[in-house]
Amino acid sequence: MPPTGPVDEITLVERLAAIGWKGSRAVLLGPGDDAAVLRGGVAVSTDLMVEGVHFSFDWVTPAEAGFRAGAAALSDMAAMGVEPEALLVSMALPAGDPALGEALQRGVRAAGDRVGAAIAGGDVSRAAGAVVLDVVVVGRARDRVVRRSGAKPGDDLWVSGVVGGAAAAVAAWSQGREPAAAARARFAAPPDRTGLGRSLAARQHASAMIDISDGLVLDARRLAGASRASLRIRLDRVPVDTAAAGDLNQALEGGEDYELMFTAHPKGKARILALGRELSVQLTRIGTVGEGTGVELEDHEGHRQRPGRGGYDHFADSSGGQG
């Protein structure tokens, strides 16, 4: 979905960060990564989900929406290699519908239970229309955190799992169709990559890492930008989810996957593949890091192209679509 607004999400986030951020002794790592890191290795991130923008109750049950919001928030910690300790949940709810709030909360709790993080607090408000869920995750970095900015020319580019399934579900719903069960499941229950992220950080395998929340290409561009490097993605190596029915565009631009993308020195290849087997997570080398900037796509014949500003941009998309 090409952005239609005058300012896209990446630009706005940068502009907001420039306003919010100034040096602080208490903050070791400020805006620009998946989580902030404070003194003492405290990592914290927040993830906002808006009904009608990120999900619809025509698509998923309230418990599924809560689970998805919790899993998405936890994915930010996984992408830093940090162990999550606790969640806070803010929600805006229609007046007179406490059962909805309880179902959402149960869903977030289930996502927290998957990684041993309890819900330690939150806030609740009446909604002015759309239901809003903001899930805060607090974690503790026991090792070096893995930032977006550490990719070096010559590194390999890796991705966990398969991509495009959740976007295929969104595409089906947006067209008034019911998605295939496998695609629906990929949307409703994002994978947990906490263990993978922790191990990549603890074993110092990954030079840079990000979670794929907004699409492989868009998040690759973020990682490339933070690392002041370029990323070349080999299209024939992208592990397209069978639930995406071979749709490479869903895999590249769809977003919603919550898989991890990371870079690593080529000498780590065997150890990374062994880690994948150990954790039963598919890990695929999909490209390389080079000099320069931006993202380049290369097909099986070696033809290269610069992608458009693909990847789903929640902010710029004002076409009325959801997802």
CB atoms within 10 A of CB 116: 11
Among 60, 69, 71, 101, binds its own copies (CB under 8 A): 101
- Best CA proximity match to 105, nearest among 83, 129, 122, 84: 122
Q: How far is the CB of 29 from its own copies (least distance, A)?
A: 8
Nearer to its own copies, 113 or 299 (CB): 113
Size of the site for its own copies (CB under 8 A): 82
CB atoms within 10 A of CB 122: 16
- Best CA proximity match to 186, nearest among 171, 199, 175: 171
Task: Read off the amino acid at residue 38.
Answer: L
Residues 160, 163, 166, CA angle at the centre, nearest 5°?
A: 125
- Which of the stretches 200-208, 272-280, 292-300, 308-316 binds its own copies when contact is defined by CB under 8 A? 308-316
Should residue 89 be labelled a site residue for its own copies when binding is judged by CB under 8 A? yes
Q: How far is the CB of 46 from its own copies (least distance, A)?
A: 5
Q: How far is the CB of 213 from its own copies (least distance, A)?
A: 10
Nearer to its own copies, 36 or 260 (CB): 36
Nearer to its own copies, 74 or 240 (CB): 74
- Which of the stretches 10-18, 248-256, 278-286, 297-305 binds its own copies when contact is defined by CB under 8 A? 10-18
- Best CA proximity match to 37, nearest among 149, 189, 179: 149
Among 68, 109, 198, 222, binds its own copies (CB under 8 A): 109
65 within 8 A of 102, measured Cβ to Cβ: no
Nearer to its own copies, 61 or 305 (CB): 61
Nearer to its own copies, 142 or 277 (CB): 142
Should residue 149 be labelled a site residue for its own copies when binding is judged by CB under 8 A? no
Q: How far is the CB of 283 from its own copies (least distance, A)?
A: 27
- Tell the burial category of 205 from Cβ atoms under 10 Å away from its Cβ (0-12, 13-18, 19+): buried
Nearer to its own copies, 62 or 290 (CB): 62
CB atoms within 10 A of CB 271: 12
Residues 190-219, interacting with its own copies (CB under 8 A): none
Q: How far is the CB of 215 from its own copies (least distance, A)?
A: 15
Residues 153-182, interacting with its own copies (CB under 8 A): none
- Which of the stretches 111-119, 147-155, 162-170, 282-290 binds its own copies when contact is defined by CB under 8 A? 111-119
**Mask for 18-57, x = binds its own copies (CB under 8 A):** -xxxxxx-xx-xxx-x-xx-xxx-x-xxxxxxxxxxx---
Q: How far apart are CA 69 and CA 311, in angstroms?
A: 19
Question: Distance of CA 261 to CAs 102, 130, 231, 275, 305, Å?
Answer: 34, 32, 11, 15, 20
Residue 52 three-state SS = coil
Q: How far apart are CA 65 and CA 209, in angstroms?
A: 26
Q: How far apart are CA 152 and CA 120, in angstroms?
A: 39
Q: How far is the CB of 210 from its own copies (least distance, A)?
A: 14
Nearer to its own copies, 28 or 180 (CB): 28
Q: How far is the CB of 294 from its own copies (least distance, A)?
A: 22
Q: How far apart are CA 66 and CA 8, in angstroms?
A: 26
Task: Read off the amino acid at residue 191.
Answer: P
Task: Read off the amino acid at residue 285.
Answer: R
**Mask for 126-145, x = binds its own copies (CB under 8 A):** xxxxx-x-x-x-x-x-----
